[in-house]
Structure 1
């Protein structure tokens, strides 16, 4: 198996686990899923988790392009890596939340904190800002062990 394929597969798996845990944890008490049956809810959770993995892969590919290497994150991060990750995370969260709200895929419960001056929840912004870099860190640790 090539090093690049191994890194991408490992990163995708790590992000799948991280986002799966987050989605199932946060959605239970911060999102309103009224009117959805069990299967509809499970399908939405699976779609959201897989969507998060594709968002993470987009960042992975963007940073691989900028750094001219698929294994860039195995080294120390540079300032541009942090800036790109933060901006990408925030923009992706805002876009996908606004899109889902417009389509009526979900609603927020009263307990959901919003980004000041917007109708977008703070939680998905934090989710992507934390879990995308954490996925790189965990992948790096696992890769170095194996």
Structure 2
């Protein structure tokens, strides 16, 4: 782990989590109604899964940020260069592919015909959640660290 000087800015984990919550909430409510087959679940089950997914997404945002920090250092989350942003997006992409593949293996949800998909290791996985996990952690970090002193 890298040492940090006393005047170096700290990583705003709470802000990253808060923006991760907001961005993922908008994403989930914006796409779940037409990309996931949830209409026969009932109100309470659907609501519980949606909010559970959003809370899980915040964990994913923090996990991607942590893995990026371990791979590229604190600078990747504070004042990122092209190299650090590439690492952040790459970590998100790998996490997105693995997590969505695992969710499909476990049978956690089904897609509608509108979900763009690819087949990985014998399972059809959605591209929307892969894009979500690739982009939203990076966006959460960018917004949380913008204009900080």
Give the TM-score band, short-chain normalised. Answer: 0.7 to 0.9
Residues 100-123 of structure 1, C-alpha deviation per residue, up to 9 Å, x if partnerless?
223332100011111366611111
Matches within 5 A, 1:1-146: 4=10, 7-69=12-74, 72-79=76-83, 81-115=84-118, 119-141=124-146, 144=148
Distance of 1:108 and 1:17 partners within structure 2: 23
Distance of 1:67 and 1:122 partners within structure 2: 26
Deviation at 1:72, TM superposition (A): 4.1
Q: Kindly tell me: are residues 53 and 36 of structure 1, through their superposed partners in 2, closer, same or farther at Cα, counting changes over 3 Å?
A: same
Distance of 2:113 and 2:56 partners within structure 1: 25
TM-score (normalised: structure 1)? 0.81
**Aligned-residue CA RMSD (Å):** 2.2
TM-score (normalised: structure 2)? 0.80
Higher helix share: 1
How many residues end up aligned between the 2 structures?
A: 139
5+ residue gaps, structure 1 = none
